[in-house]
């Protein structure tokens, strides 16, 4: 019996339970992964950190969480996602608890590396291929966990201190790990492999598909769609204050409003990918994103600032929300490609693509700041994003045209042979 057939034997109730439990766990993990976005401000004041030290502190979990995804993807294929993800959550919960005991900057950086384990993600393949886009989209909506931290952590931070926030988040993650373990089963594909005696492939053979340039093309897509989305969510408050002189409270609310629908609409992107195809979604995302980033690259500010204004506050907010919406659709569409092209290497390929997306969230804010310092232009960040979009769109279109041309040649040769 094929793996697909066994997968399709699962009832819709079992599929739904697996999806929603995984999504809930991912939401909590994402909340822990971004914990420094709130407590880092208090830590910076207590330790007297420089801006560079502060940037490294909040970026450390993002970096380690991105890099670990490759290994977690391989281990998921070899040992099953249920075990790997549970152990990962337990390790991240321990690191988050130890963070509350840290008293020096090096100790906090070390704990931050462990907190980053929460950035690892797992989607159990309980769904047949024609529904995986929807499942991956719903799961990805767990990105809203970042907004959970932004809204709830201050309620504990102000009266009790940042250490209590870390301890509470650690306990919640520990409880989540236990719920996940006792309420889920192994995914059918892993169960079939285990019943057949397991995989005989070596560890390094899992990386065989990474020799294919197509994998790195998908990684570039996700670098923009996910990494760019995370980077803008982090950068927007600073941008709005610097360019439009918004109050920090207003800028923070706009950034939160950008993050929440941008995460939720990822589920809609998965549904659309199943209905009309991921390739059409990608074309649409890159086309709209190119126009949006080009507009946002123009001079921005408020009237009377002594420069020509093209992007007013109203225009900026409207265009940035359109850009975030397109990115959310694209995040789901990218991952729809992976099980379709690499069904036996989802762990490795998905791990690399996820790693590159996470690295985008770590690298791009640093690049935004560097470009601002060098050019003096706040809009230089959108010039960079436009360049990434343009390269991605050209590369995708060229690759698809080559694929179609090769397919036509092969079909013609087959017809002639007959």
Ranges of residues in the chain with a pLDDT under 50 are 1-8, 124, 305, 416-418
> Which backbone phi and psi does 319 adopt, to 5 degrees?
-70, -40
**Any alpha helices (H) in 48-80, and if so which ranges?**
51-79
With H, G, I as helix, E, B as strand and everything else as coil, classify residue 185: coil
pLDDT at 12: 64
pLDDT at 5: 35
Report pTM.
Answer: 0.70
pLDDT at 51: 62
Cα maximum dimension of the chain: 79
- Tell me what the pLDDT averaged over the chain comes to: 79
pLDDT at 1: 28
Classify the C-alpha dihedral 341-347-351-352 as positive or negative: negative
Beta bridge partners of 311: 300
């Amino acid at each position: 019996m094929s793996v697909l057939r066994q997968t399709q034997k699962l009832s819709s109730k079992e599929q739904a339970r697996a999806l929603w439990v995984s999504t809930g766990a991912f939401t909590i993990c994402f909340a822990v992964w971004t914990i420094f976005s709130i407590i880092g401000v208090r830590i910076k004041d207590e330790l007297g950190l420089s801006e560079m030290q502060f940037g490294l502190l909040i970026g450390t979990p993002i970096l380690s969480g991105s890099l670990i995804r490759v290994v977690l993807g391989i281990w998921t294929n070899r040992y099953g996602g249920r075990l790997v993800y549970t152990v990962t959550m337990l390790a991240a919960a321990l690191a988050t608890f130890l963070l509350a005991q840290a008293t020096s900057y090096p100790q906090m950086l070390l704990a931050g590396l462990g907190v980053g384990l929460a950035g690892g993600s797992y989607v159990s393949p309980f769904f047949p291929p024609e529904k995986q886009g929807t499942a991956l989209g719903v799961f990805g909506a767990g990105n809203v966990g970042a907004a959970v931290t932004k809204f709830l952590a201050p309620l504990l931070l102000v009266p009790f201190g940042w250490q209590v926030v870390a301890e509470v988040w650690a306990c919640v993650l520990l409880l989540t790990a236990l719920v996940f373990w006792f309420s889920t089963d192994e995914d059918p594909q892993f169960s079939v492999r285990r019943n057949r005696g397991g995989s005989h492939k070596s560890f390094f053979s899992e990386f065989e598909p990474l020799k294919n340039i197509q994998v790195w093309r998908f990684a570039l897509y996700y670098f923009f769609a996910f990494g760019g989305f995370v980077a803008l969510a982090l950068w927007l408050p600073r941008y709005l204050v610097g360019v439009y002189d918004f109050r920090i409270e207003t800028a923070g609310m706009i950034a939160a409003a950008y993050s929440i629908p941008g995460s939720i609409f990822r589920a809609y992107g998965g549904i659309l990918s199943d209905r009309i195809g991921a390739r059409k979604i990608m074309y649409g995302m890159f086309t709209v994103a190119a126009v949006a980033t080009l507009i946002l690259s123009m001079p921005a500010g408020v009237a009377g600032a002594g420069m020509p204004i093209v992007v007013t506050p109203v225009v900026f907010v409207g265009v940035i929300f359109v850009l975030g919406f397109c990115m959310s659709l694209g995040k789901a569409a990218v991952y729809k490609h992976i099980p379709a092209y690499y069904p036996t290497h989802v762990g490795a390929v998905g791990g690399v693509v996820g790693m590159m997306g996470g690295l985008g969230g770590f690298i791009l804010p640093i690049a935004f700041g560097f470009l601002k310092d060098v050019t003096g232009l706040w809009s230089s960040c959108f010039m960079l994003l436009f360049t990434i979009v343009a390269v991605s769109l050209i590369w995708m279109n060229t690759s698809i045209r080559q694929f179609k041309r090769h397919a036509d040649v092969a079909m013609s040769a087959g017809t002639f042979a007959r």
